[in-house]
Every structure is written in C-alpha cells, then in structure tokens.
Amino acid sequence: MRGNVIVGQSGGPTAVINASVAGVYAAAKRAGVNKVYGMVYGIQGFLEDKVLDLDEYLADEAGMELLKRTPSAFLGSCRYKLPDVWSNEEQFEKVFEVMEKYDISCMFYIGGNDSMDTVKMLSDYAKQKGKNQCFIGIPKTIDNDLPITDHCPGYGSAAKYIATSLKEIIRDNAVYGDYRTAILLVEIMGRHAGWLTAAAALAKDDSCEGVDAIYLPERDFNLDEFLRKVKELAERKKSIVIAVSEGVRLGNGRFVCELDGAGSEKTDVFGHKQLSGCGAFLAGLIQEKTGYKARAVEFSTLQRAASHIASLTDIEEAFRAGEAAVEAALEEKTGMMVTLLRGEGDSYRCLTGLYDIHAIANQERKVPTEWITEDGCGVTKEYEVYARPLIQGELFPIYENGIPKHLVRKV
C-alpha cells in the first residue's frame, strides 16, 4: 500500500472498539505500512490536526494486548456530522489537506450508523474530485443496529454484561422470598432498536428463572397494559424483574422517558434525543398506581464500558474487522464497510465481507417482528439462537493492584 494510514473511532464507545484499532495496526504493519496514525477525537479532532503515531503505544506485544482489554475509545471519540459539502467545502478540503500532510492514503473509521455517514461523504467527495485516498468503515455499536452485517462488534460484550448482571440482580431481588414483593425495572440502552434489551433473555438458565418481561422499542408501549402485566405478575410471585429499553415509546411516538418532563429535550447533531429515565418513571408509576415497592436500575454507560466481562468472541471479531478493513484497502476498495457474516452450518463461524456504505450510513436495523413474542413482552428462541454464540468466551483484564490496568493516551 502506498503511504501511511489512519484509524479513527466515532460515536458511543464499546468494550471492544479498541480491538479494532489493534486489528488495523497489526494488519497494516504486516502489509509493510510505515506509519499507522490514530485520529484523536475522531473526525472532529482530525480537522484540527489531532493525530498520534500508534507506534508509540503498540509497537510491542504488551501494548497490543493491553489495548484489546481496555474499554472506551482509546483514541477518543466524537459525535460530529460533516456539513453538506456544498455549504462547507472547506471542511472537506481540510480533511484531505491533513491527509496529505501525513501522507495518508487510507482512512479507517470505526463507528455506527452516523459515523458511516462520514465514510460515505468523504469517499463520495474523493470520487467526485478525483482524489485517490480511500475510506473504509469498520462496524461498531452496542446497539447492534447497523444493517447488512449479521451483527456489530461491541454488541456481544454488552449483551454478555446485560445477561450476567441481570442474572446477579435476579438473585438479589429474590432475597426476601415470600416476605416482600420487590419489583425491579432495568433500563437498557439501544435507542430505537431492541437488540440490547433482548439480551436480557440470555440471563435464563438452569440456575436462573430469567426476567419476567422484556419491553423493546419495536413495539408501541402501552402504560395500562404494562400496569396490568405488573399486577398479574405480582399476584403470582414476589420477585419481579423487568427489562425495558431506553427507547420505548407510546403509540403517539412520545418516548416514555419524556413523560414525567424529566426526559432531555436536547438532541445531538444527528437529531438523536438523549434517552434516559424511563425505568425510573415506570418504577414511580408502579408505586403510585399499585402501591408495590419498585425500584429502577439504569445500566447506562456501564453496559458499554464493561471490559472486565467482555466476550472473547466479540474481541476477536472486532480485531478481525480491523484486519479486514486493511485488506480491503490493499485491494484499493473505498466507500465500503466491513461486514460480519455468519457461516452456514450448526456450529457458529464468523467470516467477513464488504458492503457499499450507501446502503448502511444512517440506516437502523431493528429486531425482526417474528422474534418478538405475541404479547410483546419477550423474545423468541430464534433470538437466543442468534445471540448466544456472540457472548461466548472471556478475555479478562490484566490486573494490577487489584484493579484492571488500561492503556491510556498521553495526549
């Protein structure tokens, strides 16, 4: 490959997004690339020339190993939308100016639906202007809502955290036995797609009865039906644990988290509202309307930062996705995203592919309707067959002084 390459991270982090950086670095070095740069704070930082040389951190095996086990985005992230090219061509030219300064021939951008918009815009601009730099997207999102790819790196680890924590919480909630009714609402991220909340179903096994209801944003949420369900559950059992997506909304489109007026009216540059608080709202509603004690737990950022319980499968696939992006660049591809493909047959196998970024940027893939139970309070066996392989295996942190050691940027 001619010249150097750069890798950036964008959007909400995951427990394995750094493994993709490691994959890019390993494959690029194998291919004889001189410099593998990292953009600090994604495209937003890159526009201000915030660039580091990954050799400083990853030249030895120990750095690579630590990076794979470090949560959050090592390079820093951003939620930044490039402007419409006609309204601000300067910004596009600035990107190419910085690329030329560091002799960068290919940019790898790790992110979700919005971040793939950046890959799309830059690769389209390069084509239009006859520039020969290439742009390849590497999927990541705990939300698992990118289309085309079978699943997204980051999802398996967040799902593993959710299933494990719920299993622990279900034990805790049952501690007073028949002496007290205890209702627990667990709010799970995922915006408009219910993949993460569906992972609550994975808590169930021989030593755990599982959660009592799962509410995904794919179905309209009805407050009366919800209260009816809670009362019906409370008539036959004392310990009740309910998983609810941060993105559940009423039939009129209003988010449940906005109902008490506490929901944030603020939207990010991609028009997404910050969704938080529906668990607390519903717990309050239960107390008020039924008199039962109810409490809420919001997994919030814990579910995407939990590298202490990351899925080894997920880490390996994130790393592989980084490598596959470099291979695509070696074949002079551009305007594509790496996809994960599920191999045929009974035993789980994951392969990689490539897909046109135009079919992916800004799109959301929801949980299929047929995987949601008819009553709208659970997911079917098909979901479990899909998700269970993604949470397999562990790669524990490197511990020092009793707590995990992380790789941290100096700048």
Residues tagged active-site: 143
373, two tokens: 């139970």
Of 66-74, 100-108, 184-192, 210-218, which segment contacts ligand F6P by CB under 6 A?
184-192
**Would you count residue 141 as binding ligand F6P (CB under 6 A)?**
yes
Please name every residue paired with 371 in a beta bridge, in sequence order, or none if there are none: none
Between 145 and 317, CB nearer to ligand F6P:
145
CB-based contact 382:371 (threshold 8 Å): yes
Residue 265 is given by DSSP the state -
CB-based contact 338:138 (threshold 8 Å): yes
Between 301 and 373, CB nearer to ligand F6P:
301
**Would you count residue 145 as binding ligand F6P (CB under 6 A)?**
no
Of these, 304, 310, 325, 340, which contacts ligand F6P (CB under 6 A)? 304
Between 38 and 190, CB nearer to ligand F6P:
190
C-alpha closest to that of 189 among 113, 278, 253, 112:
278
Least separation in angstroms between CB 140 and ligand F6P: 9
CB proximity list for 242: less than 8 A, separation 6 or greater: 183, 184, 185, 186, 211, 212, 213, 214, 215, 230, 282
Q: Tell me the H-state helices in 217-353.
A: 223-236, 278-290, 302-305, 312-330
Least separation in angstroms between CB 98 and ligand F6P: 25
**Using CA atoms, how far apart are residues 153 and 140, in angstroms rounded to an integer?**
5
**Would you count residue 12 as binding ligand F6P (CB under 6 A)?**
yes
Of these, 190, 210, 322, 378, which contacts ligand F6P (CB under 6 A)? 190
Place of tokens 């495209």: 43
Q: Give the interface size with ligand F6P as a residue count (CB under 6 A).
A: 13
Least separation in angstroms between CB 314 and ligand F6P: 15
**Would you count residue 191 as binding ligand F6P (CB under 6 A)?**
yes
**Using CA atoms, how far apart are residues 124 and 184, in angstroms rounded to an integer?**
48
Of these, 29, 35, 79, 81, which contacts ligand F6P (CB under 6 A)? 79
Least separation in angstroms between CB 316 and ligand F6P: 21
Q: How far is CA 35 from CA 24, 26, 122, 281, in A?
A: 12, 12, 21, 51
Q: For 269, phi and psi rounded to 5 degrees?
A: -65, -20
Of 65-73, 98-106, 189-197, 285-293, which segment contacts ligand F6P by CB under 6 A?
189-197
C-alpha closest to that of 133 among 158, 98, 87:
98
**Would you count residue 112 as binding ligand F6P (CB under 6 A)?**
yes
**Would you count residue 142 as binding ligand F6P (CB under 6 A)?**
yes
Between 54 and 146, CB nearer to ligand F6P:
146
Nearest position to ligand F6P, beta carbon: 12
**Would you count residue 143 as binding ligand F6P (CB under 6 A)?**
yes
Least separation in angstroms between CB 11 and ligand F6P: 5
Between 217 and 322, CB nearer to ligand F6P:
217
Please name every residue paired with 295 in a beta bridge, in sequence order, or none if there are none: 184
**Using CA atoms, how far apart are residues 139 and 153, in angstroms rounded to an integer?**
6
**Would you count residue 306 as binding ligand F6P (CB under 6 A)?**
no
Strands 36-39 and 51-53: antiparallel
Between 125 and 155, CB nearer to ligand F6P:
155
Torsion angle in degrees (nearest 10) through CA of 184, 15, 405, 166? 20
**Would you count residue 160 as binding ligand F6P (CB under 6 A)?**
no
Kindly identify the residues of this chain, within the stretch 258-287, that bind ligand F6P according to CB under 6 A: 274-275
Least separation in angstroms between CB 375 and ligand F6P: 25
Q: ∠ at Cα 384 (381, 390), nearest 5°?
A: 165
- Which run of H or E residues covers position 335? none
Of 83-91, 130-138, 187-195, 370-378, which segment contacts ligand F6P by CB under 6 A?
187-195
**Would you count residue 52 as binding ligand F6P (CB under 6 A)?**
no
**Would you count residue 11 as binding ligand F6P (CB under 6 A)?**
yes
HSE-CB for 306 with a 13 A CA cutoff = 23
Task: Count Cβ atoms below 10 Å from residue 29 Cβ, excluding itself.
Answer: 17
Of these, 78, 95, 159, 189, which contacts ligand F6P (CB under 6 A)? 189
Least separation in angstroms between CB 70 and ligand F6P: 18
Least separation in angstroms between CB 76 and ligand F6P: 13
**Using CA atoms, how far apart are residues 309 and 326, in angstroms rounded to an integer?**
28
- What does the binding site for ligand F6P look like in residue numbers (CB under 6 A)? 11-12, 79, 112, 141-143, 189-191, 274-275, 304
